[in-house]
Amino acid sequence: METQHAVRRPPRRTAALSRTATHRSDQKRFGNGELLLMSLIPFGFVILFQYVPMLGLVIVFQDFDIFQGFRESEWVGFPNFAEVFGDRRFWAVLRNTLVINIYKTIFFFPIPIVLAIVITEIKNRFVQRASQTILYLPHFVSWIVVAGLAFTILGSNGTLNQLRSALGLERVLYLTQPELFRGIIVLTAIWKESGWGSIIFIASIISIDPQLFEAATIDGASRLRRIISITIPSIAPTIVLLLLIRLGYILIWGTEQVLALYNPTVYETGDVIGTYVFRTGLGAQRYSYSATIGFFNSLVGMMMIVTANAITRRFMDRSIW
């Protein structure tokens, strides 16, 4: 969802003007206390479910024992970090996370742009709406359903293998081959999210001044020329912005998808940070070790997002938040 939250920042001057209009007398007149009271419930909720668990991160400096709790567990300093960074498994899952997300960026990212161009080039309103309805639908099914559909088609008894055996070919266990797993992740991501991802580009194309297209047509520009010389340059800022956001989220995205689709035979190529933390933490109950990985991931992830945002803000006068 974060992708769509690309905010065009208001010019700084208006922001400054409205700030000077915020007088203390206004606060008195309009009742500040009531607003504070109103914020109490949702903010208390955020404190409890977001900030309190951040305090729980102290266990990265402990040898945490779930029966002794935070207070009684032994404080050990940094050996958890030493253990994590000295662990080959950690570097393997970090590498998988990066590789899978880079593949996704290369192969997934252009498709919503192409779909947006295709959809906006449709002149028939009915066809346009109907195509959008179909292309957005996969976004609304769960990753478990996507996994179910993947097994239905690619499973050992799936339609593709049925077709192969009908042709006298051997069955292929597509979903248990480490060398195919990343491809399947990219394909299922494309299937589920590329239609939905096109919305922001469609919005961007629709906002192009139609006079540009009219003028180009009068000057004899062909349809392809209009796409290349008007549409694509006009949406280029949006493309760069979303690309940066995507790169910012490279460590964070994709856990839910992999968790739904993977199995022990593809850990080698498919195990990502989120799934590894889940198994070592909640499964093997190595709380301090897995929390340390999670902490590292969140920290680096945050720095990447902040950097991406700073770049877009600096060079494009737009920001994610």
Restricting to residues 204-263, which ones interact with another protein according to CB under 8 A? 220, 222-224, 227, 252, 255-256, 259-260
For another protein, the binding residue among 76, 91, 99, 165 (CB under 8 A) is 165
For another protein, the binding residue among 140, 168, 179, 218 (CB under 8 A) is 140
CA distances from 81 to 133, 274, 294 (A): 48, 17, 11
Binding mask 108-127 for another protein (x = CB under 8 A): ------xx-xxx-xx-----
Question: Taking CB under 8 A as the criterion, which residues in 66-85 touch another protein?
Answer: 66
| For another protein, the closer CB: 79 or 148 | 148
- CA nearest to 249, candidates 273, 233, 278: 273
Q: Is 22 in the site for another protein (CB under 8 A)?
A: yes
Question: Taking CB under 8 A as the criterion, which residues in 283-312 touch another protein?
Answer: 287, 290-291, 294-295, 297-299, 301-302, 305-306
Question: Taking CB under 8 A as the criterion, which residues in 85-104 touch another protein?
Answer: none
Instruction: Give the residues across from 75 on adjacent strands.
Output: 62
Question: Taking CB under 8 A as the criterion, which residues in 173-192 touch another protein?
Answer: 173, 191
Backbone angles phi and psi of 109, in degrees to 5: -55, -45
Question: Taking CB under 8 A as the criterion, which residues in 39-58 touch another protein?
Answer: 39, 41-43, 45-46, 48-54, 56-57
| For another protein, the closer CB: 102 or 137 | 137
Joined together, the tokens standing for residue 256 give 């839910």
CA distances from 283 to 10, 60, 84, 290 (A): 47, 18, 17, 10
Q: Identify which range of 76-84, 86-94, 96-104, 279-287 contacts another protein by CB under 8 A.
A: 279-287
Q: Identify which range of 32-40, 82-90, 91-99, 208-216 contacts another protein by CB under 8 A.
A: 32-40
Q: Is 18 in the site for another protein (CB under 8 A)?
A: yes
CA gap 152, 155 in Å, rounded: 6
* Beta carbon of residue 144, minimum distance to another protein (angstroms, whole number): 5
Which residue is associated with the tokens 């559909």? Answer: 149
Helix (H) or strand (E) holding 12: helix 12-20
For another protein, the binding residue among 162, 229, 265, 307 (CB under 8 A) is 162
Buried b (16+ CB within 10 A) or exposed e, 28-65: eeeeeeeeeeeeeeeeeeeeeeeeeeeeeeebbbbebe
CA gap 243, 308 in Å, rounded: 9
| For another protein, the closer CB: 97 or 290 | 290
